[in-house]
C-alpha cells in the first residue's frame, strides 16, 4: 500500500512540475535556441564531463588497495561507464551503483568487500558537492543574502562532513551498522524481502583502519571528480550564448546534483528542469534559456550513458562468444 501511495505521489508531483514548466516557458523559443547551439562549446563540455570518469576510476583504484581488489584501471573505468548507463536508463539513481557492485562482486568473487568503496565513494562525493555548493553560494552576491539557504546548506554540509571524517576511524563499524540498519528498515517498510541483505557482512571496512591518510586523498580525488562537471556546465552555457561565470556554474551544478538525487523521475527529468529554471530566474536568465541549458545538461548525461551502454553490449557479447572461441 505504501509503495502504491508513494508511486502515486511521485506521479502527481511530476505532473505538476511538467505543467508548471510548460506554462512558464516559451517552447518555440527554447527549440530555436537549442538549434543555434555552438557545437564546439558543446563537445568541449562533453569531453570535460567525461574526464570526470578518469578521476573517479583513480579514486576507486586507491580505495581498492586496502581491500585487495585486483581489477585493473580499465576494468574499473568500464564499470564506471556502465554504472552511468544504468543510472540514466533505469529508474532510480542508485541502480547504477547497484549494478556496478554486483558486477565487481562477481569479478572479485566477493559479495562483501566491493560495497565498502561504493559507500565511501557516494558519501565523499556528496560531501564535496555540498562543499562546492556552499563555497559558491557564499561567493555569489545574490544567493549569500538568502540566510535560510546559506544556513540549510551549511548545516547539511557540516553534518555530512562529520559523517565523512568518521569513515576511516574506529567508529566506522558502529556507523556502518547503524546506516545499514536504517536502510534495511526502510526497505522492509515497502514489504521487500531483506533476508539476503541481512546476511551481508561489512567487515571489510576494518581494512581501512591503517590507512588514515586515504581519507584526505579520497576527498581530493572527489574534488577532481566534480570540478570537470562545473566546467562542463560553464561551456554548455556558453554554447547557448549565456554568460554564466564559474561561481554560478558551481552553485548551479551543486544544487542540481542534490535535487537530481530525489527518486521522483527518470534520470531527474522534470526535477532538474524545474530547479534550473527557478535558480537562473534569480539572476535574470529567462525561462526559455534556462530550459535550453537544462536540456543540454540532460543530453550530455545521455551521451555519456550511451558510452556505458556500448561497453555493456560489447562486454556481454565477449562473454557469450568467448567459450565458443576457446
pLDDT in tens, 271-293: 889 999 998 998 889 999 999 99
Return d(Cα 94, Cα 88) in angstroms, integer: 10
* pLDDT at site 324: 45
DSSP secondary-structure letter at 66?
A: G
300 CB neighbour count, 10 Å cutoff: 22
- Choose the weakest-confidence range: 9-23, 91-105, 128-142, 230-244: 91-105
For the chain, report the end-to-end CA distance as a whole number of angstroms: 51
- Phi, psi at 156, each rounded to 5°: -65, -40
Compute the CA torsion angle 219, 220, 225, 230 (nearest 10 deg).
100
The closest of 249, 294, 292 to 272, measured between CA atoms, is 294
What is the average pLDDT across 228-236?
Answer: 97
Decide if pLDDT at 257 tops 80. Answer: yes
The closest of 300, 163, 168, 326 to 228, measured between CA atoms, is 300
Contacts 24+ apart (CB under 8 A), 270-279: 270/14, 270/17, 270/18, 270/21, 271/14, 271/17, 272/297, 272/298, 273/17, 273/21, 273/298, 274/17, 274/20, 274/21, 276/252, 277/21, 277/24, 277/25, 279/251, 279/252, 279/255
pLDDT-derived band at 137 (thresholds 50, 70, 90) equals confident
Average pLDDT, the chain: 81
Return d(Cα 251, Cα 243) in angstroms, integer: 15
| 254, 271 Cβ separation under 8 angstroms | no
Q: Which residue has the cell 580499465?
A: 74
Task: Say how many CA atoms lie within 13 Å of 68 toward its Cβ.
Answer: 8
DSSP 121-161: HHHHHHHHHHHHHHHHHHH-TTGGG-HHHHHHHHHHHHHHH
| 208, 124 Cβ separation under 8 angstroms | no
Enter the pTM of the model. Answer: 0.82
Decide if pLDDT at 149 tops 50. Answer: yes
Q: For 152-194, what is each residue's pLDDT tens digit?
A: 888 888 888 887 777 666 555 566 666 667 666 766 665 555 5
Decide if pLDDT at 197 tops 70. Answer: no
Q: For 39-90, what is each residue's pLDDT tens digit?
A: 999 999 999 999 999 999 999 888 887 777 888 899 999 999 999 998 887 6
pLDDT-derived band at 91 (thresholds 50, 70, 90) equals low
pLDDT-derived band at 231 (thresholds 50, 70, 90) equals very high
Q: What angle do CA 81, 85, 89 make, to 5 degrees?
A: 170
* pLDDT at site 67: 78
* pLDDT at site 7: 67
Decide if pLDDT at 302 tops 60. Answer: yes
Amino acid at each position: 500500500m505504501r509503495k502504491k501511495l508513494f508511486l502515486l505521489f511521485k506521479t502527481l508531483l511530476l505532473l505538476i512540475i511538467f505543467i508548471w514548466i510548460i506554462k512558464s516557458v516559451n517552447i518555440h523559443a527554447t527549440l530555436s535556441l537549442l538549434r543555434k547551439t555552438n557545437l564546439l562549446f558543446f563537445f568541449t563540455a562533453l569531453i570535460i564531463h567525461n574526464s570526470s570518469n578518469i578521476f573517479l576510476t583513480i579514486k576507486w583504484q586507491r580505495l581498492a588497495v586496502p581491500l585487495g581488489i585486483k581489477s585493473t584501471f580499465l576494468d574499473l573505468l568500464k564499470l564506471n561507464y556502465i554504472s552511468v548507463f544504468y543510472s540514466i536508463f533505469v529508474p532510480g539513481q542508485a541502480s547504477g551503483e547497484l549494478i556496478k557492485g554486483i558486477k565487481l562482486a562477481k569479478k572479485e568473487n566477493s559479495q562483501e568487500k566491493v560495497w565498502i568503496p561504493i559507500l565511501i565513494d557516494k558519501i565523499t562525493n556528496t560531501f564535496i558537492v555540498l562543499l562546492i555548493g556552499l563555497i559558491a553560494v557564499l561567493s555569489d552576491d545574490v544567493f549569500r543574502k538568502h540566510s535560510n539557504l546559506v544556513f540549510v546548506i551549511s548545516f547539511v554540509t557540516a553534518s555530512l562532513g562529520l559523517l565523512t571524517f568518521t569513515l576511516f576511524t574506529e567508529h566506522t563499524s558502529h556507523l556502518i551498522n547503524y546506516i545499514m540498519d536504517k536502510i534495511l528498515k526502510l526497505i522492509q517498510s515497502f514489504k521487500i524481502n531483506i533476508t539476503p541483505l541481512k546476511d551481508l557482512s561489512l567487515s571489510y571496512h576494518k581494512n581501512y583502519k591503517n590507512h588514515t591518510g586515504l581519507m584526505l586523498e579520497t576527498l581530493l580525488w572527489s574534488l577532481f571528480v566534480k570540478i570537470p562537471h562545473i566546467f562542463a556546465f560553464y561551456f554548455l552555457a556558453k554554447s547557448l550564448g549565456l554568460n554564466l561565470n564559474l561561481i554560478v556554474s558551481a552553485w548551479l551544478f551543486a544544487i542540481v546534483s542534490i535535487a537530481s538525487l530525489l527518486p521522483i523521475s527518470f534520470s531527474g527529468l522534470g526535477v532538474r528542469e524545474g530547479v534550473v529554471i527557478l535558480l537562473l530566474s534569480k539572476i535574470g536568465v529567462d525561462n526559455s534559456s534556462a530550459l535550453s541549458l537544462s536540456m543540454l545538461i540532460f543530453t550530455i548525461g545521455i551521451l555519456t550513458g550511451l558510452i556505458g551502454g556500448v561497453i555493456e553490449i560489447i562486454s556481454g557479447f565477449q562473454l557469450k562468444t568467448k567459450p565458443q572461441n576457446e
